[in-house]
Amino acid sequence: MDALDLARWQFGVTTVYHFIFVPLTIGLAPMVAIMQTLWLRSGDERWLRMTKFFGKLFLINFAIGVVTGIVQEFQFGMNWSEYSRFVGDVFGAPLAMEGLAAFFLESTFIGAWIFGWGRLPARVHLAAIWLAAIGVNLSAFFILAANSFMQHPVGVELNPETGRAELTSIFDLLTNSTVLWAFPHQITAAWMTAATFVAGIAGWWMVRDRASNLYRPVFRLASVVLLIAGIGVAITGDGQAKLMFEQQPMKMAAAEGLCETEDSAGFSLFAIGNPGPGHCDVWAVSIPGVYSYLATGDFGATVDGVNDLQAEYSEKYGDGRDYVPNLASTYWNFRLMIGFGLVAAAFGTVGLWVTRRDRTPGRWFARFALVAVPAPFLANLTGWIFTEMGRQPWVVAPAPDGDPAIRMLTEDGVSMIGPWTVGTSLTVFTLLYGGLAVVWFGLIRRYAAAGAPEVDSPDEHDDDADRPLSFAY
């Protein structure tokens, strides 16, 4: 493989690893804040124990997420210097906002929350975790604003003298229609991930520790959040698909594996074929009209197929190039995203049903709870892979309603370095991230299996400022 292939693999590997932790951090921070709020309002010691329990798991995930995320931005200079040279003036703005504002907000108040148990007034300590949760979600917005620029560049113009894209409006960049749909979709997906994580662990403990009734309230809370977030994911995903059809019709056609332009195009349940560069040979079993509705809101609408879009792009951006993304990747990742999301939603629905009227399900549900936990993680990962692979061969996709000069092919954004250099860093990062993933899983498993900690008093406030600190608190 050449340097381009290796650089793409490296960014893909590090992004997938990092994105294991991101949705859980985004969703778990406000859920822990809700648990602590319920404790302060009700005085119920069970909510304090749940706050301590899931707060510890949140901190493990946050720490690993920070470590794996640092490398992400370094790669723009290491492997993608030509991309950084072209759009650095624009792309760097939301990344700087994320680092200077959001990340410092979340890290500062997470520190106050960790070391503030028994030292800060109860309401001040509660405010610290809420501010940290706001910072976590604000970080997600700025990162998504940067990514949305790559999907749909706005607020920018080309400087003909330097050949670089220059930011003309930070307001346009931060109110990009793409990020206004991507942000709520990602946030609801993150809440769905965190709720499944909490419900899965609490559900396992609820069955195992029937007598205490300690984990039932948090399980019920997480299941309700899971279903509400699932509805939000569906609504925002539908809006995002319709916007994608306007901005990146090739990505939508590739998601369906739609080769030819059709009226009332169907959504395929299963497809077989031999798609490849320059051809799109796919046979599918489809539900008529559904794809047209997903793309336009009209079951009978005409939607362009991959072959016609290839001809259109060749005329507009230059012949002799394949503008079709990897059809197998986009097609199946799109369906896996939906499928894993439905598994998580089914878990929440079943969980609420089997725990109605103070019932406790049997051991089968404990196994179901643990099996369901990975589902939203996989939904997030496959959704992210679909989003990024579907944009190819562009690293900055041209905007239909913007400056046609603001675009860049992925192969033009790579640094002028040799494959051995990129291959070495790819190997090191893969091994390092693999090790961190093992550490993360081991810590999560260890502290989840330990159960909720005992507490000495409801408020945990004392005058012993010199007591030794244990992990997390």
More confident residue, 197 or 459: 197
Instruction: Tell me the pLDDT band of 463, cut-offs 50, 70 and 90.
Output: very low
Q: Would you call the peptide bond into 404 cis, given omega within 30 degrees of 0 as the criterion?
A: no
Q: Do 422 and 295 share a structural domain? A: no
Among candidate residues 324, 354, 388, the one where a domain is terminated: 324
Q: For residue 276, is pLDDT > 70?
A: no
Shared domain check, 304 and 346: no
Query: Measured between alpha carbons, how far is 410 from 6 in angstroms, rounded to an integer?
Result: 12
Domain that holds residue 281: 249-324
Question: Does 458 map to a domain?
Answer: no
pLDDT tens-digit profile of 223-253?
A: 999 999 999 999 999 999 999 988 999 998 8
pLDDT of 234: 93
Q: Is the pLDDT of residue 102 over 80?
A: no
Where does the pLDDT of residue 469 fall: very low under 50, low under 70, confident under 90, or very high at 90 and above?
very low
pLDDT in tens, 155-213: 899 888 888 999 999 999 999 999 999 999 999 999 999 999 999 999 998 888 876 78
pLDDT, tens digit, 9 for 90 and up, residues 104-153: 888 889 989 998 888 889 999 999 999 999 999 999 999 999 999 999 99
Q: In terms of domains, do 150 and 8 share one?
A: yes
DSSP string spanning 256-287? HT--S-EESPPEEEEEEE--BTTB--EEEEEE
Question: Structure tokens of 384?
Answer: 């992210």
Task: Pick the most confident of 79-88, 208-217, 317-326.
Answer: 79-88
Rounded (5°) CA angle 153-159-160: 120
341 shares a domain with 233:
yes
Looking at the fold, whether 409 and 386 belong to one and the same domain comes out as yes
- DSSP tag of 98: I
What backbone torsions phi and psi does residue 378 show, to the nearest 5 degrees?
-65, -35
pTM above 0.85, yes or no: yes
Picking from 302, 324, 346, the residue at the C-terminal end of a domain is 324
Q: Quick one: 262 and 368 in the same domain? A: no
Long-range contact list for 117-120, CB < 8 A, 24+ apart?
A: 117/460, 117/473, 118/460, 118/461, 118/462, 118/464, 118/467, 119/465
Does the residue 101 lie in any domain?
A: yes
Please tell me the predicted confidence (pLDDT) of residue 211.
Answer: 67
Residues 299 and 197 in one domain: no
Residue 210 lies in a domain: yes
Domain match, 366 and 226 both? yes
Please report whether residue 379 resides in a domain. yes
Give domain status of residue 472, yes or no.
Answer: no
Read off the pLDDT of residues 420-449 as tens digits, 9 standing for 90 and up: 888 888 898 888 888 888 888 999 999 998
* 189 and 56 share one domain: yes
181 and 309 part of one domain: no
pLDDT at 52 over 80: yes
Nearest C-alpha neighbor of 387 from the set 74, 85, 81, 12: 12
User: Taking a C-beta distance cutoff of 8 angstroms, is the pair 80, 414 a contact?
Assistant: yes
Q: Which residues contact 164 (CB under 8 A, 6 or more apart)?
A: 85, 86, 87, 88, 89, 158
Q: In the prediction, which pLDDT does 23 show?
A: 92
Helix, strand, or coil (residue 153): coil
User: Looking at the 3D structure of the chain, how many domains does it have?
Assistant: 2
For the chain, the maximum distance between any two Cα atoms, rounded to a whole number of angstroms, is 75
Work out the angle at residue 237's Cα, subtended by the Cα atoms of residues 232 and 243, and round it to the nearest 5 degrees. 135
455 is a domain residue:
no
Identify whether residues 8 and 106 lie together within a single domain. yes
- Euclidean distance between CA atoms 9 and 7, whole angstroms: 5
b/e map of 177-215 (b: 16 or more CB within 10 Å)?
Answer: ebbbbbbbbbbbbbbbbbbbbbbbbbbbbbbeeeeeebb
| C-alpha–C-alpha distance, residues 305 and 261, integer Å | 4
In a domain, 464, yes or no: no
Residue 109 domain-assigned (yes or no): yes
**85-94, 132-141, 191-200, 263-272: lowest mean pLDDT where?**
263-272
Both 12 and 53 in a single domain? yes
* pLDDT mean over 56-75: 85
Residues across the chain: 473
Please identify, among 324, 353, 385, the residue that sits at the C-terminal boundary of a domain. 324
How far is 309 from 316, CA to CA, in rounded Å? Answer: 10
Amino acid, res. 323: Y
